Structure 1
Amino acid sequence: VMIYEDVNFIVPVKIFNFLKHLMSGEGMVKIKSSDKKFYVEFDNYKIACSLINGNYPDYKSIIPKEQKNKSLVSLSILKDRLARVNLYVDKSRKLVLTFSELQLKLLGEDLITGRKGEFFIKDPNYLYDGADEVMAINISYFVEAINVFETSKVEIQFNSGNVLKLSEPENFNFTHLIMPMSLG
């Protein structure tokens, strides 16, 4: 690994998903950046993408130090329920999550057509420690986040009405945050 200088830039997540499908095994990867572009070279590929304008926020300041509500959910079951409920979500992309001791309820609703889909995850695929909570999030962000995980379970933590924190129980080095939406 050769590093020539420290640089900070924001790269769209789609490029990393694309690279994940192209790369296999080990090998040399060359990464370059300019003011507006991000470049990756490996094997016989040369890929460029536009950088996102702006400065990355200080992530440590937005991650809550302690979350009162914690759940552990089977990742495969969660992906299945999200795929099902996604069929009912309208253009607002709102997914309503209801956390309780007995179950996690996922609700998708199209207010124009009146179609509604409710799906549940229960023990042994769901464990929860905390107060009963209802929150809304963008299902697209949630699906995008869980597709990155490579573990059997995902840990979901939050405080009432606050940021949803997703992490792997065995790997606390990776955290994904999702801002809640209005329930109304």
Structure 2
Amino acid sequence: MKFIVSSTALLSHLQTISRVINSKNSMAILDNFLFRLERNKLTMTASDQETTMTTSVEVIEAEGEGLFAVNAKILLDPLKELPDQPLTFEIDDNNLEIFLYFQNGKYNFIGVNGDEYPQKMPLSDSAITFKVEAQQLLNGIGCTLFATADDELRPIMNGIYMDIFPENVTFVSSDTHKLVRFKNAAIQPGVKASFILPKKPANLLKNILPKEPGEVLVTFDDKNACFTLTNFVLNCRLIEGNYPNYNSVIPQSGPNRLIIDRSMFTNVLRRVSVFSNQASSLVKLQLQENQMVVSAQNIDFSTSAEETIECNYSGDNLVIGFSANYLIEILNNIPSQQIVLELSDATRAGIILPLENKENGELLMLLMPMMLTDF
């Protein structure tokens, strides 16, 4: 078996799918890329058993066909240092000895039998399919991924819940401290269904979707999902279980309403939180008509800080505590210069919204308050 391929094309595809490979694998074969040569098409696969990503590249010349696997590190590390040039692979079909020839030299290593590579799980005949623009899927994942949990006891919270309706898809994530709900009416699947997308494949999609033109074909059943993009195919095992009723924990519009510049609020929180208890990052917000006082203190080190901000606030005088870290994280993930903070009282969750939503998108973030025990 022999083929010639562009080093740049090969490297870019391998680097993308290499993110699937774990640093420690239960099976040695999973340290490898799987290559399949068919005519002038070279298909490459990386897997951790739960998630599999496949991509392909056209080769310049090809002789023979076959299947083989190559250690990812042995191949990737030298390719990163090579300038753009044609690479010639010669594989001995009997013992899988591989010679890689390039402009000023050659590499020699032994491949692995590709038949040992685990197969991706097939989807059932009852699988549901819909199409979505790559940018719209990216919007949903990008808004919600940061709020997923790392909870071994409740794995259903460790992914993005995609609640699918005929006229929209709602993306939801929560770690019990914060919750994000993004309703995207630009996606109209025409079906009613739902699934929980694990964090790892969601991260992989977030990385590759910005470079993918056109539509993504989403196919899923009750255990697995497949995302077919222009240049990549991602298969993953879904998180099984029933996601909590997220709408039931979202309070109705609070009577106390703050409108403020997002960047200014974030900068104030960053400065003041330096003086908070580092374990809790607790900050206190004192709200009264058109004014907010942001303060923090650390009793253990006798430090404190306070800043006063002129703002658009209407409602009752209110004092409430939040984790500055969580609040900053939420503010960093709202694509709007002006944000709205709706509050009921000091014991109920605050709702944080963009002042103006993007077309066909409705974003809502929720943050649980903290007891002001240190004040």
Deviation for aligned residue 1:23: 2.1
> What is aligned with 1:167?
353
> What is aligned with 2:288?
100
Q: Which has the higher strand share?
A: 2
Structure 2 residue corresponding to 1:128, chosen from 313, 319, 327: 313
- 1:87 paired with 2:274, answer yes
> What is aligned with 2:339?
154
Deviation for aligned residue 1:32: 6.9
1:18-167 equivalences under 5 Å are: 19=206, 23=210, 26-29=213-216, 55-89=242-276, 90-122=278-310, 126-161=311-346, 162-167=348-353
Question: Where in structure 1 are there 5+ consecutive unaligned residues?
Answer: none
Q: Distance in 2 between matches of 1:37 and 1:98?
A: 48
Q: In the alignment, is the contact (CA less than 8 A) between 2:266 and 2:331 conserved in 1?
A: yes
**8 and 110 in structure 1: CA distance in 2 versus 1, 3 angstrom threshold:** same
Q: Distance in 2 between matches of 1:157 and 1:116?
A: 27
The structure that has the greater radius of gyration is: 2
Q: In the alignment, is the contact (CA less than 8 A) between 1:12 and 1:52 conserved in 2?
A: no
Q: Distance in 1 between matches of 2:235 and 2:326?
A: 24
Q: Secondary structure at the match of 2:195?
A: coil
Task: Give 1:166's aligned amino acid.
Answer: I
Deviation for aligned residue 1:48: 8.8
Q: Distance in 2 between matches of 1:28 and 1:169?
A: 29
**103 and 40 in structure 1: CA distance in 2 versus 1, 3 angstrom threshold:** farther
**91 and 40 in structure 1: CA distance in 2 versus 1, 3 angstrom threshold:** farther
TM-score by length of 1: 0.76
**84-93 or 19-28, which moves further after superposition?**
19-28
Higher relative contact order, structure no. (Cα contacts within 8 Å, ≥ 6 residues apart):
1
Question: Where in structure 2 are there 5+ consecutive unaligned residues?
Answer: 1-129, 132-188
**25 and 95 in structure 1: CA distance in 2 versus 1, 3 angstrom threshold:** farther
Q: Distance in 2 between matches of 1:27 and 1:72?
A: 37
Q: Distance in 1 between matches of 2:217 and 2:197?
A: 17
Q: Deviations over 1:143-180 (max 9, x none)?
A: 11111111121000011121100011222821100011
**21 and 73 in structure 1: CA distance in 2 versus 1, 3 angstrom threshold:** farther
Deviation for aligned residue 1:50: 9.1
Q: Secondary structure at the match of 1:78?
A: helix
Q: In the alignment, is the contact (CA less than 8 A) between 1:12 and 1:51 conserved in 2?
A: no
Q: In the alignment, is the contact (CA less than 8 A) between 2:282 and 2:370 conserved in 1?
A: yes
**63 and 44 in structure 1: CA distance in 2 versus 1, 3 angstrom threshold:** same
Q: Secondary structure at the match of 2:193?
A: coil
Task: Give 2:352's aligned amino acid.
Answer: L
CA RMSD of aligned residues (A): 3.5
Q: Distance in 2 between matches of 1:49 and 1:144?
A: 28
Task: Give 1:91's aligned amino acid.
Answer: A
Q: In the alignment, is the contact (CA less than 8 A) between 1:81 and 1:120 conserved in 2?
A: no
**42 and 136 in structure 1: CA distance in 2 versus 1, 3 angstrom threshold:** farther
Deviation for aligned residue 1:108: 2.1
Q: Secondary structure at the match of 2:266?
A: helix
Q: Which has the higher helix share?
A: 2
**96-105 or 35-44, which moves further after superposition?**
35-44
Q: Distance in 2 between matches of 1:21 and 1:77?
A: 32
Q: In the alignment, is the contact (CA less than 8 A) between 2:222 and 2:240 conserved in 1?
A: no
Deviation for aligned residue 1:24: 5.2
TM-score by length of 2: 0.41
Task: Give 2:356's aligned amino acid.
Answer: E
User: Identity of aligned pairs, percent?
Assistant: 23
- Would you say how many aligned residue pairs link Structure 1 and Structure 2? 180
